[in-house]
Amino acid sequence: MTKKVQTPETDILIESTGKVESFFDKFGNKVMWVLVAVTVIAVGIFVWNNIAQQKSQAKEQEAQIKFFEVLNNSGVTNATAESFSVDYATTAEAYLAVAKQYEDTAAGNTSYFMAASAFLHANDLANAEAAIAKFENIEGNYGKHINAMALTLKGDIAVEKKDYQTAAARFEEALAASNNADIYGANAAKLCLVYEAMGDDAKAQKTYKAAAAKYPTLAGKFAKYIKE
């Protein structure tokens, strides 16, 4: 099921499950958003394990093992841009169980983010919102990326609720939270489409142009949407 929002400038497609693949499809990105998240998180957890001072290193390691068990069982680690299949509802509950059991660890905290993402993909907005509310911002460079994606997820939830003002605010915050070009580009694309849905073509154009100027690698993706 797909929701359509008509504006003079565009026919905006927003997936009812909250996955927002249409945002990526429109800009030529075939890799699902959740794969980007998993890649950053997987690397991040290993880094945190090496540099963070944990109250209980053994508990942190145990939490990481549980985290990656869910990751492996979900099938995400074997996914490709062309082949991707996950039982999101089951995966969400599995991540939530890890989060609740190990919420005082880095892996447990990250599991709240992953649970929220999976709940959103399963079209369970209430549980997605509850899970992401439990996620706490993470320090460090890797933390910046995940923190930004947490804001993106909040924006996606707001889009599903047709609360475009809140969605725009979260995507704007996400733009400012990360210096990663891929994450920035995804949020810029979503923000532009929300602006267009709100009938504010001027802000959409400003965002397209700013993204293309900030990251030249995004210029080609956004060029055809920029009006001279």
pLDDT at 183: 85
pTM, full prediction = 0.79
Q: What's the rounded Cα separation, in Å, for the pair 26 and 12?
A: 10
pLDDT of residue 132 exceeding 60, the answer is yes
86 or 200, greater pLDDT = 200
170 or 78: which leads in pLDDT: 170
In angstroms, the CA 128 to CA 99 distance is 13
Q: How many domains are contained in the chain?
A: 1
Task: Look at residue 22 in the predicted model and tell me its pLDDT.
Answer: 47
In the block, which residue shows the tokens 């707001």?
158
Q: Domain limits at 114? A: 2-225
Q: What is the mean pLDDT of the chain?
A: 77
pLDDT at residue number 15:
35
> Tokens 């109250």 — which residue?
55
What does the pLDDT look like over 10-54, one tens digit per residue? 233 333 233 344 444 444 333 444 545 555 565 566 555 555 555
Q: Please tell me the distance from the alpha carbon of residue 84 to that of residue 89, in angstroms, as a whole number.
A: 15
| Long-range contacts of 82-85, Cβ-Cβ distance < 8 Å, separation of 24 or more | 82/30, 84/32, 84/35
Mean pLDDT of 56-61: 80
CATH number at 202 reads 1.25.40.10
Q: Over the stretch 209-222, which tens digit does the pLDDT of each residue have?
A: 999 999 998 888 88
Lowest model confidence (mean pLDDT) among 73-82, 174-183, 196-205: 73-82
| CA dihedral for 194, 118, 98, 42, sign (positive or negative) | negative
Element (H, E) at 206: helix 201-214
Please tell me the predicted confidence (pLDDT) of residue 39.
Answer: 54
